[in-house]
Structure 1
Amino acid sequence: MLVTNTIDTTVLPPAERFGMWLDLVARTSVPLRMESPYADDFAARAEFIDLGAIQLVKYQYPSLDATRKLIRQSDPELYILAFTTSGVGTSSQDGRRSDILAGEFTFYDASRPHDVCHHASEPGRTQATSITTLIPHSALPLPPKRMAALYGGRMSGSEGLGALLAQFLIQVTGHPEQYQTADAGRLGAVGLDLATTLLGRNLVAEDDVPTEVRRRALVTQVHAYVHRHLGDATLGPQIVADAHHISLRTLHRLFEAENSTVATYIRDLRLARCRRDLTDPTLRTQPVQVIAARWGFGDKAHFSRVFKAAYGVSPQAFRDGEPGAARDVNRLASRVNSSSAD
């Protein structure tokens, strides 16, 4: 699984918890002056995941207000892209101030003065939660002088690329055990591409985003779309292209760089899902065709032909455990899963 580092202030007596938190923030991002009505008993938790190009931090803490005033030359040069998962807050930098709600992003430069606050909003709750992406200045392929236009602003995490980035952050930080240590670098690249494209679009300067970054971000969007609509038997290249407002030719060129085709990607992913369900003991009583239809194979004969062509055995023979069948099917499933950030 991904390597994580968890800090929990409740391992200390209540009187020492806020001091621990102040030290943690200073060591992992930048020093901040913080205030909280819960400073006498600051029960908080932070989970860090290093993805190479970027670092993710999943926070849970009591309501707090933070100010960054004094800047030191030795402080790290970091951009902060913070996604609020619960609670409400404000973000302020360079004269711009925004109210941030759950499901929204804010962006600021941690190496410059700024103010942020984050408070629990539900009655009876004292905890607010967020997922923060720490991006070194040198890692973000956008013109530094133009980034000030986004400081202290808000961006949607419920539509378009914002929603895709939010889903990525929630998935990776919520289920790090589903990924291997070797996946960290690739996940970091995917996260950085999505963040870069989101910021570029909000700058109304997408042309400033490198072409390869835009291409990879679009491929990630297409992969996510296919995953969400895999059970739709009508899903095909034209529908995928129309959903992303690109031509069919452009979509095919995207997948040429992935050493695949759209139709092949959809088919292989469907087969992988069918393989998974055919080996699930809880689904043993479901007919093979019901499982096939769930993943977009509406015709029983066609599904059997495609499955046997791919693996050399029929779906029923695989379910019944014919020798060698599971090995071949698992090999394809592994290849399909490695091509997606799902």
Structure 2
Amino acid sequence: MIGTMFRSEDVPVGDRFDHWREVIGRSRSSEVASAYAADFWAECRLMELGPVTVIPLSFVPARYWRSPRMARQPDPESYHLSLLLDGELTLDHVGRTGTFGSRDLHLVDSSRPYDLRPADDRERCAVKGVGVDIPKTLLPLPPHLVSGLLGRGLSGREGIGALLTEFLIGLEQQAETLQPSDAPRLGTVVLDLVSALLAHVLDAEAALPPETRQQALAQRIQLFIRQNLHDPELSPPAVAAAHHISLSYLHRIFQQQTRGETVAAWIRNRRLEGARRDLADPSLRTTPIHVVADRWGFPRASDFTRAFRAAYGMSPREYRLQGRA
């Protein structure tokens, strides 16, 4: 497991809001206020991934702001990137005002005042999102370029923004199974994806180190594969063609990013994992095995049975019966 979990239910009602302010203050020096302070609800997981901090969080409407006086005091010298998943927030920062909704991202400089508040706090509807804190010195882009993105809305619904969104959501979903030893590498991936997104918006990809560009490309390729596992025509040449790279370059990226696993093996293993989950799902127990196989890119039942037995030591039918037992 990675990260420290905070749930307001674990704290007496009268202490919940003050404790939440303390939790937020560990990563972001800001004031917090809420119309629901007397009966506050929030939860978050504080994940320290090397020098990068990722914070999936949910809370009832609250306002977070850093005043000019606070900005003049010593601060963590970091950029705060926020991904909003549910709810609406309005941000005032560096002379810009914007309202953001689901799968929007926005960037804040901790050295400058900001005011982040619910667009409408009349209803007790939870706001859900993921915060990312990155030291300024680690972002491989000139500060004068980055300042042009502060307070602006960035899309997390397409392109590199979608890659970053899915990766951050996946971090929260897999936090219980990840190990502390995974944290530094995961932090590197987050930093590379954030850098790639900002560079893309700024049209400044050339400013990124080659390894950052390669990491972002690897994530883009893996997402493409996951989205197309159902297609029996999905193959290393098809993946390379879809990303306008040579087959040899594709293989080289995978050798570096997946610890030696080949592209074909990565595709096959993701398909088998998906099929195995479906076979173990009680709600799909009446779905014929050949339908499950076809759904995961195995049009020939004999090929599926052979690959499944090689991976798990039993046939798909035996695995399903074992799960029922």
TM-score using structure 2 length: 0.82
The whole-number CA distance in structure 2 between the counterparts of 1:152 and 1:115 is 10
The whole-number CA distance in structure 1 between the counterparts of 2:188 and 2:64 is 32
Matches within 5 A, 1:253-268: 253-258=252-257, 259-268=260-269
Unpaired runs of 5+ residues, structure 2, are: none
Q: Which residue of structure 1 aligns with residue 46 of structure 2? A: 48
Task: Summarize the Cα distance change of 1:250–1:36 in structure 2 as closer, same or farther, 3 Å threshold.
Answer: same
Q: Which string of whole-angstrom CA distances, capped at 9 and with x for unpartnered residues, describes residues 139-174 of structure 1?
A: 323223321111111101111121221122222224
Task: Summarize the Cα distance change of 1:117–1:268 in structure 2 as closer, same or farther, 3 Å threshold.
Answer: same
Q: Alpha-carbon deviation of 1:201? A: 1.0
Task: Summarize the Cα distance change of 1:95–1:213 in structure 2 as closer, same or farther, 3 Å threshold.
Answer: same
Q: Which residue of structure 1 aligns with residue 215 of structure 2? A: 216
The whole-number CA distance in structure 1 between the counterparts of 2:201 and 2:194 is 11
The whole-number CA distance in structure 2 between the counterparts of 1:96 and 1:317 is 59
Q: Which string of whole-angstrom CA distances, capped at 9 and with x for unpartnered residues, describes residues 201-257 of structure 1?
A: 112211112111111111112112212221221212343234434454543442343
Task: Summarize the Cα distance change of 1:62–1:312 in structure 2 as closer, same or farther, 3 Å threshold.
Answer: closer
1:4 lines up with 2:8 in the alignment:
no
Q: Which string of whole-angstrom CA distances, capped at 9 and with x for unpartnered residues, describes residues 67-98 of structure 1?
A: 33223554212210001122222223322332
Which deviates more from structure 2 when the two are superposed, residues 80-89 or residues 179-188?
179-188
Match of 1:38 among 36, 57, 61: 36
The whole-number CA distance in structure 2 between the counterparts of 1:76 and 1:173 is 24
The whole-number CA distance in structure 2 between the counterparts of 1:152 and 1:283 is 46
Task: Summarize the Cα distance change of 1:313–1:87 in structure 2 as closer, same or farther, 3 Å threshold.
Answer: closer
Contact 2:13–2:40 (Cα < 8 Å) also in 1: no
The whole-number CA distance in structure 2 between the counterparts of 1:144 and 1:250 is 32
The whole-number CA distance in structure 2 between the counterparts of 1:120 and 1:253 is 49
RMSD in angstroms over aligned alpha carbons? Answer: 3.2
Query: Runs in 1 of length 4+ with deviation above 6 angstroms?
Result: 279-285
Matches within 5 A, 1:284-299: 288-299=289-300
Task: Summarize the Cα distance change of 1:75–1:243 in structure 2 as closer, same or farther, 3 Å threshold.
Answer: same
Task: Summarize the Cα distance change of 1:244–1:112 in structure 2 as closer, same or farther, 3 Å threshold.
Answer: same
2:59 maps to a residue whose letter is Q
Matches within 5 A, 1:113-192: 113-120=113-120, 124-192=123-191
Task: Summarize the Cα distance change of 1:299–1:167 in structure 2 as closer, same or farther, 3 Å threshold.
Answer: same
Local SS of the residue matching 1:62: coil
Contact 2:90–2:119 (Cα < 8 Å) also in 1: no
Identity among equivalent positions (%) equals 37
1:4 maps to a residue whose letter is T
Q: Which string of whole-angstrom CA distances, capped at 9 and with x for unpartnered residues, describes residues 160-190 of structure 1?
A: 1212211222222244223233322222222
Contact 1:49–1:173 (Cα < 8 Å) also in 2: no
1:300 lines up with 2:301 in the alignment:
yes
Q: Alpha-carbon deviation of 1:133? A: 0.8
Unpaired runs of 5+ residues, structure 1, are: 322-342
Q: Which residue of structure 1 aligns with residue 270 of structure 2? A: 269
Q: Which residue of structure 2 aligns with residue 99 of structure 1? A: 99
Contact 1:10–1:44 (Cα < 8 Å) also in 2: no
How many residues are paired up?
318
The whole-number CA distance in structure 1 between the counterparts of 2:317 and 2:211 is 43
TM-score using structure 1 length: 0.79
Which deviates more from structure 2 when the two are superposed, residues 286-295 or residues 70-79?
286-295
